[in-house]
C-alpha cells in the first residue's frame, strides 16, 4: 500500500497548494484581486491592491503551504521526512498554487509556495535565494526581478554546494531547476515589461 499513501500525500499537497489565500482574503474585503493590478492572486498583487499588511499575510500563508506540503504532510501521512516524497509533495503544492482547482487552474506564480517547499527540503540554498531576493528588491524595487533572480539562484546554489556529490543530490538539483524554469515561464509578461521599462515598482499601484 506504499504507493497509495504516497499518492494520498501528493494529492493532499496539491489540494493544500490550491487554496488561494490571496483570492479568499480579497473576497473577505469585498475585492476580487484578479480584477485589479496585475490580476494575480499572489502576495505582490494583494499588497498592491489591498495594502502591505495583507500582502505580507498572503506571503506567509503561501510559504506555509509549501512547507506544510513538503514537510508535515509526508511525515504525517507516510512517516517519510526526506527523500523523494517531500520533493514530490512540495512540487504538487507549487503546481496547486499555480494551477489551483478552486480557481479553474488560474493561480499565482508560485514563488512564495516554492520558497516554503525549498526551505524545508534544502534550507541553505533557500537562504541564499532569500538573501538574493531582499538584495534585488532593495536595490531595484522590482519584486519580479528579485523573484526571477532568487529562483535561478537556488539551482546555482545547489550545484555550488554539492558539485562534488552531484549524483547524491540529483533530485534536489532537478527539483530546483524545474522550479526556476516554472518561475521564469510564469514571469514572461513581467520580463517583457522589465525590458520595456513599464514594470511596476514597490509602492506603485495600478
| Rounded-to-integer distance, Cα 6 and Cα 76, Å | 11
Grid cell 512547507 in the structure block, residue: 67
For position 204, what pLDDT does the model report? 55
Tell me the DSSP string of 71-124: IIHIIIII---SSHHHHHHHHHHHHHHHS-GGGTT-----HHHHHHHHHHH-HH
For position 3, what pLDDT does the model report? 76
For position 80, what pLDDT does the model report? 67
Question: Could you give the 3-state DSSP secondary structure of residue 31?
Answer: coil
Grid cell 519580479 in the structure block, residue: 144
pLDDT tens per residue, the chain (206 residues)? 477 888 888 999 999 999 999 999 999 999 999 999 888 899 989 998 999 999 999 999 999 999 999 988 887 777 766 788 899 999 999 999 999 999 989 998 899 999 999 999 999 999 999 999 999 999 999 999 999 999 999 999 999 888 777 777 788 899 999 999 999 999 999 999 999 999 988 765 44
* Upper half-sphere CA count for residue 50 (Cβ side, 13 Å): 28
Q: Using a cut of 0.85, tell me whether the model's pTM lies above it.
A: yes
For position 165, what pLDDT does the model report? 78
For position 206, what pLDDT does the model report? 44
For position 58, what pLDDT does the model report? 96
| Rounded-to-integer distance, Cα 108 and Cα 206, Å | 18
Amino acid at each position: 500500500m506504499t504507493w497509495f499513501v504516497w499518492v494520498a500525500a501528493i494529492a493532499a499537497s496539491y489540494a493544500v497548494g490550491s487554496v488561494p489565500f490571496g483570492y479568499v482574503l480579497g473576497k473577505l474585503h469585498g475585492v476580487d484581486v484578479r480584477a485589479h493590478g496585475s490580476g494575480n492572486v499572489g502576495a505582490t498583487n494583494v499588497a498592491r491592491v489591498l495594502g502591505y499588511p495583507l500582502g505580507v499575510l498572503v506571503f506567509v500563508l503561501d510559504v506555509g503551504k509549501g512547507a506544510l506540503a513538503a514537510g508535515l504532510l509526508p511525515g504525517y501521512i507516510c512517516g517519510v521526512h526526506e527523500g523523494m516524497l517531500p520533493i514530490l509533495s512540495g512540487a504538487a503544492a507549487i503546481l496547486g498554487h499555480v494551477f489551483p482547482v478552486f480557481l479553474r487552474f488560474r493561480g499565482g506564480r508560485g514563488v512564495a509556495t516554492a520558497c516554503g517547499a525549498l526551505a524545508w527540503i534544502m534550507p541553505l540554498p533557500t537562504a541564499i535565494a532569500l538573501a538574493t531576493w531582499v538584495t534585488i528588491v532593495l536595490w531595484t524595487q522590482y519584486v519580479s526581478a528579485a523573484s526571477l533572480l532568487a529562483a535561478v539562484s537556488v539551482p546555482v546554489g545547489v550545484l555550488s554546494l554539492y558539485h562534488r556529490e552531484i549524483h547524491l543530490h540529483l533530485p534536489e538539483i532537478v527539483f530546483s531547476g524545474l522550479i526556476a524554469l516554472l518561475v521564469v515561464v510564469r514571469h514572461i509578461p513581467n520580463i517583457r515589461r522589465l525590458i520595456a521599462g513599464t514594470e511596476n515598482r514597490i509602492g506603485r499601484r495600478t
